[in-house]
Every structure is written in structure tokens, then in C-alpha cells.
């Protein structure tokens, strides 16, 4: 089953006929060739796929295309200097975008070693 989904992308109107369950990330990259949005974990943890949906940051790997109908999406390409979305960004974010850096959250690295055993505190009395 496919659905015609029409939404704003970086200030322009886009219409794509896709499965309503296709991820926004895939629609952007495969159907609209906006490859600035990257896939990292694919499960909503890293933030590499972040776009603005009606001005709110979302993980595009967790958004279905059908949820975007009639809404406005801004990708990293749309955050270039001088875009309408630029005022939404903090000055530091604007600099990162200008230099081609995107947001990336990392999970803390888990050690492959078991933690050192904890030695119980001695309970022996020191008084005589
Ligand atoms: S790809 Fe990691 S949050 Fe979407």
C-alpha cells in the first residue's frame, strides 16, 4: 500500500508516493536525495538523523512518512546560513552547521571487562 504524502521540506513542497510506514529518514535520503540526514543507530539513540518537524527536533528514523503529511520538515541542508530556520538555532549550533558538523549523541561505552570485585569493608572492631 502506498500513500501520497505532501509536506514542506526546507521551504519547498514535496510530494512522494510511499508506504505510510516508510521512515522519514529513508524518504529524505532515498526519495528526495537529501543525504545530509545520516543514519547512525536507526533506533532513536544517537541523534544522527535529527531533523526539525514543524520546528521541533525529532529523530527521523522513528518518524513514519505518513506522520509528515501537511507538515514542515527542515533538514541540515535547510539550516544553511540565511535559511528561515536559522533563527531557531543557538549561535553555537549555527557555527556547527556552517562547518558541516551535526549533532551526535553517544551512549557511554560499556566495558567488556567485569567490574573489579568489591571487597567488603572490614567490620572488625579496633578496640581492645
Ligand atoms: S539514526 Fe540514531 S537516532 Fe536516528
Give the cell for residue 103: 549533532
Q: Give the pLDDT of residue 54.
A: 94
Q: Give the pLDDT of residue 36.
A: 87
Distances (CA, A) of 57 to 5, 24, 88, 100: 20, 13, 11, 18
Q: Is the CB of 76 under 6 A from ligand 1?
A: no
CATH number at 96 reads 3.10.20.30
Tell me the residue range of the domain where 87 lies: 3-103
Examine residue 45 and state whether it is found in any structural domain, yes or no: yes
Q: Is the CB of 46 under 6 A from ligand 1?
A: yes
Examine residue 124 and state whether it is found in any structural domain, yes or no: no
Model confidence at 106: pLDDT above 50: no
Q: Which atom of ligand 1 is nearest to the CA of 60?
A: 4
Outline where the chain has alpha helix (H). Answer: 24-26, 91-98
Examine residue 112 and state whether it is found in any structural domain, yes or no: no
Q: Which atom of ligand 1 is nearest to the CA of 25?
A: 4
Examine residue 74 and state whether it is found in any structural domain, yes or no: yes
> Binning pLDDT at 50, 70 and 90, where does residue 68 land?
very high
How many independent structural domains does the chain possess? 1
Using one digit for the tens of pLDDT, what is the confidence trace for 29-67?
Answer: 999 999 989 999 999 998 889 999 998 999 999 999 999
Q: Give the pLDDT of residue 123.
A: 44
CA distance 94 to 81: 8
CA distance 72 to 15: 12
Examine residue 108 and state whether it is found in any structural domain, yes or no: no
Model confidence at 92: pLDDT above 90: no
Q: In what order do the strands lie in the sheet with 50-53?
A: 12-18, 3-9, 72-74, 50-53, 56-59
Examine residue 123 and state whether it is found in any structural domain, yes or no: no
Q: Give the pLDDT of residue 114.
A: 42
Considering the chain, what is the average pLDDT of its residues?
Answer: 78
Q: Is the CB of 14 under 6 A from ligand 1?
A: no
Q: Which atom of ligand 1 is nearest to the CA of 44?
A: 3
CA distance 54 to 9: 10
Examine residue 115 and state whether it is found in any structural domain, yes or no: no
Examine residue 34 and state whether it is found in any structural domain, yes or no: yes
Amino acid at each position: 500500500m502506498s500513500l501520497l504524502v505532501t509536506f514542506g521540506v526546507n521551504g519547498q513542497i514535496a510530494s512522494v508516493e510511499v508506504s505510510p510506514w516508510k521512515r522519514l529518514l529513508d524518504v529524505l535520503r532515498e526519495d528526495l536525495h537529501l543525504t545530509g540526514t545520516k543514519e547512525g543507530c536507526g533506533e532513536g539513540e544517537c541523534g544522527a538523523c535529527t531533523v526539525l518537524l514543524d520546528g521541533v527536533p525529532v529523530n527521523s528514523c522513528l518518524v513514519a512518512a505518513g506522520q509528515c503529511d501537511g507538515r514542515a520538515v527542515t533538514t541540515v541542508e535547510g539550516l544553511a546560513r540565511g535559511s528561515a530556520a536559522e533563527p531557531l538555532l543557538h549561535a553555537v549550533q549555527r557555527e556547527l552547521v556552517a562547518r558541516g558538523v551535526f549533532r551526535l549523541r553517544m551512549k557511554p561505552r560499556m566495558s567488556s571487562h567485569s567490574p573489579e570485585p568489591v571487597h567488603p569493608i572490614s567490620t572488625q572492631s579496633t578496640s581492645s
